[in-house]
Amino acid sequence: MRPRQGARTADCVRHAARPRSQPYSQGGKIRMPEGLSPEFMLAAYAAGLFPMASEDGGLDWYDPDPRGILPLDGFHLPRRLRRTALSGRFEVSVDRDFPAVMRGCASPAPGRETTWINGQIYRIFCALHDMGFGHSVECRLDGDLVGGLYGVALGGVFFGESMFSRVSDASKVALVHLVARLRLGGFILLDTQFGTDHLATFGGTEIPAARYKALLERAIAMPPRWQADIPPDMLESEIRNL
């Protein structure tokens, strides 16, 4: 059994907030030292930073202005997708195979021939999953993993990292289940990093960094909200209400 998040969040962030090396600026991005720990990663997220692999094998950290979010109280669910999510076509699970979801997100796909998920990011996020902070939503069809997403939960914020889909609607259904789960858990912020046309169809938007940081500070201060076991009937009811 993984440690409960509430027992470790504050200690991890306090410990990691005192790094031995300082980040430095390069080309408008923030560069940090190699060999980052999961604890340092949590502190960076709590400060509003997120990583992407660079071409030289290191990590670039980003703090964009404006910042992309998906408002949980303004999520737009198209009728057709609601029917698909409720149809039972996909078997949806949570945290069953986090590493496989990460590998799916890192794999090349049409329109995405390169990946920002390198070996270092893979190892750190798998460690965060083992610590109870990293979470995945999986969609299976006939027993095969065909889509999903992953991210990090801290207090009342979920940092969405990446998603993938091998069949139509798989990643979208995973997103619907994530939003329903976050709403039931009392989360107040779903961070999407950047705004995209795809996320805009679900109500995604961009807000000024200052407003984002204020929301983040409030969300981080909340008790852990992630719930692994939510009754299926509650999830179904929440999806119907989206």
Q: Name the residue ranges covered by the structural domains of the chain.
A: 5-62, 67-241
Both tokens assigned to 5: 């998040």
Distance CA 220, CA 157 (A): 7
pLDDT by residue for the chain (242 residues), tens digit each?
Answer: 333 344 344 444 434 333 333 343 333 355 555 567 899 899 999 999 988 877 777 778 889 999 999 999 999 999 999 999 999 999 999 999 999 999 999 987 666 556 678 888 899 999 999 999 999 999 999 999 999 999 999 999 999 999 999 999 999 999 999 999 999 999 999 999 998 899 999 999 999 999 999 999 999 999 988 988 999 999 999 999 99
Both tokens assigned to 83: 């029917």
Bridge partner residues of 135 (DSSP): 151
The CA–CA distances, whole Å, from 191 to 50, 160, 179 equal: 10, 6, 12
Please state which CATH class domain 67-241 belongs to. alpha beta
Contact 5, 132 (CB under 8 A): yes
First to last CA, the chain: 32
pLDDT value of residue 111: 62
Distance CA 25, CA 178 (A): 34
DSSP codes, 199-237: HHTTT-EEE-HHHHHHHHHHHHTSPP---S---HHHHHH
pLDDT value of residue 54: 75
The amino acid sitting at 216 is L
Within 98-194, residue ranges assigned H as helices are 98-106, 119-130, 170-185
